[in-house]
Amino acid sequence: MNRRELLAGVGAGALVGTATRAYQSADTYRNPVYDHVFPDPDVLRVESTYYAYGTYHQWASGPVERQLVPVLRSSNLVDWEPVGPAFEAAPPWSRYRGLWAPGVGRRGGRTLLYYSDAEFGAENPGVGVATAPDPTGPFEPRGGLFRSEPVGVPNSIDPMLFEGGHPYLFWGSHRGSYGVRLADDGLSTAGEKFQIAGEGVEAPYVVERDGCFYFFGSRGTCCAGAESTYHVVTGRAEQLRGPYRNRDGERLTADGATGTTILQSSETFRAPGHCAVVCDAQGGWWLLYHAYVAGKAWVGDTPRRVLMLDRLRWRDGWPVVGEDGTPSRVGKVPPASHSYSA
């Protein structure tokens, strides 16, 4: 029995969990939509099925069975079941303790998975890449795209794939957010890096809507339980490469400038952040992100960051989350045009 079969059978305990139903009623749901540890999510829609990918990190000091990048599947962004892990073994290119903050996409009929090879205090983290025919993997490691020192960007983690006519990778964590054009197959860089945001923000996510490009990022601290200060900010640009500006017109690369805050803590849900943006089959926009449930912020020594979902609306050309910019407790289930076969 390989690692993938073992984890599928045992569910990897409280840190991974099993399929969970988050419905309040037939057409509404309660947050969190996956009430288990699942930090730093990215999401991929293939036809009408969604796949979510999360961070792997070995927090415990002793041996704990963890998934090497957990993968979930859903037909509606609400009901999620584990179908991973992405890797059967750590990629040979990896040298650090964690496989953090995966970014995913599809090109040429295969799934591309970018991962952060990192740990806290890593001197030379980087972004690696792997591929698989199926979004559930297992993924074949294809080496590294770059590390911090050669590319000249400290803390080179948190990759995100932008899929336009040409693929671009965005990345960065508190030392500037950057982008670079990739080769058409997504397995190597094909240009020089460019900066889209300054220091103090991480996990860049870029989408295009109605001829504008929108930057989403997270500011604050992520991993101190309910004391974390994470929150989501945004900026807007007329070109993919920027300049990105907040609602006050300040460039996000300017000293002291920050994005406009669109999602922050509530009494129930703390430190929301590291978001991914996805459209449903009918064109509705949604934000997946992690947060802490107040009073349930830890599993042993592991920060209990759970998977959350909120509708992303647009007002006057800017994204808005929820009714008051905090995580919702209850929402309307996104449309599902089919159910996948188990």
Average pLDDT of the chain to the nearest whole number: 91
Cα separation, 104 vs 110, whole angstroms: 11
Mean pLDDT, residues 67-81 taken together = 96
Task: Using the predicted structure, report yes or no on whether residue 7 has a pLDDT greater than 90.
Answer: no
Mean pLDDT, residues 159-179 taken together = 96
Task: Using the predicted structure, report yes or no on whether residue 20 has a pLDDT greater than 90.
Answer: no
> What pLDDT shows up at residue 10?
34
* pLDDT tens, position by position, 30-69: 999 999 999 999 999 999 899 999 999 877 655 456 689 9
Which residue, among 44, 17, 48, 45, has the nearest Cα to 33 in the 3D structure? 17
What's the Cα-to-Cα distance from 53 to each of 215, 231, 269, 329, rounded to whole Å?
20, 20, 21, 23
Name the band, by pLDDT with cuts 50, 70 and 90, for residue 338: low
Mean pLDDT, residues 179-203 taken together = 97
The reported pTM is 0.92
Token reading at 74: 């859903």
Name the band, by pLDDT with cuts 50, 70 and 90, for residue 324: very high
> What pLDDT shows up at residue 230?
98
Residue 341 falls inside a structural domain: no
* pLDDT tens, position by position, 233-263: 999 999 999 999 999 999 999 999 999 999 9
Residue 340 falls inside a structural domain: no
Q: Which helix (H) or strand (E) holds 274?
A: strand 269-279
What is the b/e burial string over 174-192, where b = at least 16 CB atoms within 10 angstroms of the residue's CB? Answer: bbbbbbbbbeeebbebeee
Count how many domains the chain has: 1
Name the band, by pLDDT with cuts 50, 70 and 90, for residue 19: low
Residue 224 falls inside a structural domain: yes
Cα separation, 30 vs 319, whole angstroms: 22
Which residues pair with residue 320 across a beta bridge? 313
Residue 189 DSSP class:
B
How far out from the chain centre does Cα 334 lie?
Answer: 19
> What pLDDT shows up at residue 9?
36
The one-letter code for the residue type at 284 is: G
> What pLDDT shows up at residue 341?
42
Task: Using the predicted structure, report yes or no on whether residue 21 has a pLDDT greater than 90.
Answer: no
CB atoms closer than 10 angstroms to residue 249: 7
> What pLDDT shows up at residue 192?
97
Cα separation, 214 vs 230, whole angstroms: 19
Residue 334 DSSP class:
P
Burial class (CB within 10 angstroms; exposed 0-12, middle 13-18, buried 19+) of 150: exposed
> What pLDDT shows up at residue 5?
41
Residue 230 falls inside a structural domain: yes
Mean pLDDT, residues 88-117 taken together = 96
323 vs 28, higher pLDDT:
28
Residue 337 falls inside a structural domain: no
Task: Using the predicted structure, report yes or no on whether residue 123 has a pLDDT greater than 50.
Answer: yes
Residue 13 domain boundaries = 3-332
Residue 342 falls inside a structural domain: no
Cβ–Cβ < 8 Å for 285, 311: yes
The DSSP result for 192-242, as a single string, is: --EEEEEEEEEEEEEEEETTEEEEEEEES-SSSGGG---EEEEEEESSTT-
Residue 319 falls inside a structural domain: yes
Task: List Cβ neighbours of 259 (8 Å cut-off, separation of 6 or more).
Answer: 197, 201, 215, 217, 219, 233, 234, 235, 244, 246, 252
Task: Using the predicted structure, report yes or no on whether residue 8 has a pLDDT greater than 90.
Answer: no
CA 69, 88, 112, 170 torsion: positive or negative?
Answer: positive
Q: What is the domain-level CATH number for residue 252?
A: 2.115.10.20
Residue 338 falls inside a structural domain: no
Task: Using the predicted structure, report yes or no on whether residue 201 has a pLDDT greater than 90.
Answer: yes
Q: Are β-strands 231-237 and 260-263 bridged in parallel, bridged antiparallel, or unpaired? A: antiparallel
Mean pLDDT, residues 152-159 taken together = 98
Report the residue count for the chain.
342
